[in-house]
Amino acid sequence: MINRTILVGRLTRDPELRYTTSGAAVATFTVAVNRQFTNQQGEREADFVSCVIWRKAAENFANFTHKGSLVGVDGRIQTRNYENQQGQRVYVTEVVVENFSLLETKAQSQSHNNGAPSFDNNQPANAPQSSSANDNPFGNANNNANADSGNVKSNANDPFANNGEPIDISDDDLPF
């Protein structure tokens, strides 16, 4: 059996971090995920998916995200039920998050949350954004960042670097 879910969307509110009586951290949040199609009025609709994340990951998620943050989550769908105070059976379907990724820099996330567009004046609005190493809350030892200026150095030995030359691939190189 396979129960795997991957979602990419924006948080509808700040994550709610709580602790169980045994001290385990648990955060709940909702991710708004745009649908691939538009309705009859030409508007894009969204699904609002309830999620829960546990332990240290819950603390990290709550510390580094807020309403409007663009996130990717990976987990499994879980259904549960309980009886509320009025004696009614309540059914809950949610994604139990096992892994997550922050999909924008801190600066982009803050500017989106403030309602301001996020772009560099030297790039079109839809171009990928450049960021300094200090924008990443988790750090990245492999980016060869210069700590003084925040600029990323290019690696001359990088076989995937775009040096402006066309890529020479023959049919023999393709796996199919």
pLDDT confidence of 8, banded at 50, 70, 90?
A: very high
pLDDT of residue 124: 39
Beta bridge partners of 81: 91
Q: Which domains does the chain have, with CATH numbers?
A: 5-103 (2.40.50.140), 106-158 (no CATH)
100-136 pLDDT tens trace: 999 988 777 776 666 544 333 333 333 344 333 344 4
Query: How large is the average pLDDT for residues 81-94?
Result: 94
Q: Say what percent of the chain tops pLDDT 90.
A: 53
10-44 pLDDT tens trace: 999 999 999 999 999 999 999 999 999 888 898 88
Query: How large is the average pLDDT for residues 4-10?
Result: 95
How far are the Cα atoms of 46, 73, 91 from residue 37, in angstroms, in the given order?
10, 22, 29
139-157 pLDDT tens trace: 444 444 444 444 444 455 6
Please choose, from the candidates 50, 61, 98, 96, the residue with its C-alpha nearest in 3D space to the C-alpha of residue 77.
96
Contact 60, 69 (CB under 8 A): no
